[in-house]
Structure 1
């Protein structure tokens, strides 16, 4: 069989042909590899450069490679945070003509880190709680779309900073299954696997001395279940309100939006005697603030980043002379939002030298600057302004924090 590359983008095959497919992945020469931290995997995984892109290359059998490729593409269409599937390469042979395993190629998720790299310095329990929150949100989102992961774990997840919290991304979909709807038993099975896997991973970290002494691995494994169930209950429960209290429904929708979820449609039923109203929301995938910011500004960010940027955008718009909500004669929000991007967001981000940014993307940089402005203003007891905050952040904060923002060396 000759070498075959099935790719999502017609430009990728030409770039991928430059890689040494005649060699087992373990033997690829350093000039093709990119030294990025890797998590634990049952397969051989390497990061490589294909043109201007950094890609993750994983060796596995043909059938699971093609299956995972299609599952990752399905998750992308559903808007689920997961790595992007770029291609599957089959028909590989070595110099003697002996067959080599196919590979699955995904795009490297910029600014992300596997959990083991994050634990190279002892992680505080508060940070670990944020990781568990991110993983619980990811698992809920998967289950809402009908995806049974089958192997939820820290090892199969990448984490990326998201405005002081973390966003979790699915990396390994090899064991996953997509259904129209998951039963309670399927969800419980996934959740129990997550509990066992996470406790085991943390026990391994504890044995290596990389776990904070106050952290109980078993308790943290159990915590993911509690966080998941609390979030699932809030998103799917049926509410019964007194008739005429429709603002209660609006309050519930706002609470769901604050969690980052949208209500696609709703079912409202009046009781037979007319005294009560039953409200059942149909919740879709997270990203309420992401979509709002993208629609207004064209900026594609994480959910918490989007929430923070929207707050800043709204505060800025309120200071503009041509902004009057509800007045059709004034500038529309989209016009003002693009002006904010052009006059505020971009100049502010560009004021931070590229060599000091580390792995932070523009939205995270802007969030950090807003946090620093708040801190300095609290200390000064008045608003010190964004320009002053940027100057102080670049001169006094980033040089000291540069090492912690850089990705750690490969294992």
Structure 2
């Protein structure tokens, strides 16, 4: 038995687990119930402390390849599940125990990844009830994930809704890669490889949605599976064009450079270097931006506050920090430094607000998404009242009018199901 662990923070060499047996033969008491999608391989989920891990049964060469790719993608800062380790040589005895598996485990391995808290498979999201807008947001998130992967030179080879997880991100959705066993990381991805990956994504996506349409008797808003798959391709191409295209403008329109950079930042991308060259005898300028590190706002909010959040959540939180900073700068008559404003906002506003929400009513939302919903609730209250509603009043209303009513509705539905 051989354990290879990526990080000492995840000490997962628990010898009480039956590593020497095929995952299908593990007693059910070792597994924990979680929201999960469809897997082509055998997958089980186990808990250790407050963490949940996914175990995937694979042929050893495939497991080693996927483990390596996930680690490389994680190091690039891409949205993937966290690789924890790999278990090989399972056909050998363990602590004197003789392998009792009915399967031949020679050449088999278990890949261990961290269960992505707050993320859900697409089937679970749709089956729980979603709107046509939310379904399209899911496709937008998947298209953006593909763009990020392709910018880094990663060929997925099997992009589908089934091979991704989705996490709420300030009212939108963020997509994470789950399955990388068909992937390949290259110095740069050619246009032909990108197009083929996109073609596979279209085919897989249309198939996923057709299956779901048959299962549910129709998609939200009676949307057509093929048209939805085509929209993903369209969204991908629009985003790729914005990120990679050259822009030509007159020499007296250099303000357009700043506008282009701002658009890229709003999409969540940074520009590593920018090349300007004269064309048409110097009367016009071509701008080429080298887009690299993703998640611009996410990185800024982490540097300022230590919070690890999604990109849209980060943008919303930064806006709230700026609002807080502007208020106190106006009150004091002097500019408050950004780092000071961020620290005071974190302790006096954000954490104080979150602490007022009862744990039992948080519905599995992470703190950043919870705070976003409170800000949304405050905005709607202020709009109805035609005046600014304070955060304290908004929090009280959110707990009483949203969370507690939702809890009561769920309890009533559960009681009716029991009576049936």
TM-score, scaled to structure 1: 0.93
What is aligned with 2:19?
21
Deviation, structure 1 residue 27 = 2.8
What is aligned with 1:65?
63
1:138-153 equivalences under 5 Å are 138-153=145-160
CA RMSD of aligned residues (A): 2.1
Q: Residues 403 and 278 from structure 1, CA distance in 2 versus in 1: closer, same or farther, beyond 3 angstroms?
A: farther
5+ unaligned residues in a row in structure 1: which ranges?
Answer: 407-411
1:261 aligns with 2:269: yes
1:45-84 equivalences under 5 Å are 45-84=43-82
Deviation, structure 1 residue 28 = 2.3
Distance 2:337 2:263 in 1: 27
What is aligned with 1:245?
253
Deviation, structure 1 residue 122 = 4.2
Distance 1:372 1:307 in 2: 17
Deviation, structure 1 residue 296 = 1.6
3-state SS of 1:102 partner:
strand
Distance 1:16 1:298 in 2: 31
5+ unaligned residues in a row in structure 2: which ranges?
Answer: 92-97, 412-420
CA distances 1:362-383 after superposition (whole Å, capped 9, x unpaired): 1101100000000111111111
What is aligned with 1:121?
128
CA distances 1:211-262 after superposition (whole Å, capped 9, x unpaired): 2361101111111100000000011110011013221100110011111111
Deviation, structure 1 residue 111 = 0.2
1:38 aligns with 2:42: no
What is aligned with 1:137?
144
Distance 2:410 2:32 in 1: 18
Deviation, structure 1 residue 13 = 4.3
Distance 2:332 2:115 in 1: 43
Deviation, structure 1 residue 41 = 1.1
**354, 361, 376: which one pairs with 1:371?**
376
3-state SS of 1:174 partner:
coil
Distance 2:121 2:307 in 1: 25
Give yes or no for contact 2:304–2:343 (8 Å, CA) kept in 1.
yes
Deviation, structure 1 residue 17 = 2.9
CA distances 1:100-127 after superposition (whole Å, capped 9, x unpaired): 3311000000000001111213432111
Q: Residues 92 and 375 from structure 1, CA distance in 2 versus in 1: closer, same or farther, beyond 3 angstroms?
A: same
Q: Residues 324 and 253 from structure 1, CA distance in 2 versus in 1: closer, same or farther, beyond 3 angstroms?
A: farther
CA distances 1:334-370 after superposition (whole Å, capped 9, x unpaired): 1221111011000001111111112211110110000
3-state SS of 1:358 partner:
coil
RCO higher in structure (CA 8 A, sep ≥6): 1
1:159 aligns with 2:166: yes
What is aligned with 2:100?
96
**Worse-superposed segment, 218-227 or 163-172:** 218-227
Deviation, structure 1 residue 14 = 5.0
The number of aligned residues is: 401
Deviation, structure 1 residue 32 = 1.9
Give yes or no for contact 1:151–1:193 (8 Å, CA) kept in 2.
yes
TM-score, scaled to structure 2: 0.91
What is aligned with 2:362?
357
Distance 1:57 1:28 in 2: 11
Q: Residues 404 and 140 from structure 1, CA distance in 2 versus in 1: closer, same or farther, beyond 3 angstroms?
A: farther
1:292 aligns with 2:296: no
Q: Residues 403 and 309 from structure 1, CA distance in 2 versus in 1: closer, same or farther, beyond 3 angstroms?
A: farther
1:315-394 equivalences under 5 Å are 315-321=323-329, 331-394=336-399
Deviation, structure 1 residue 91 = 1.5
What is aligned with 2:417?
none
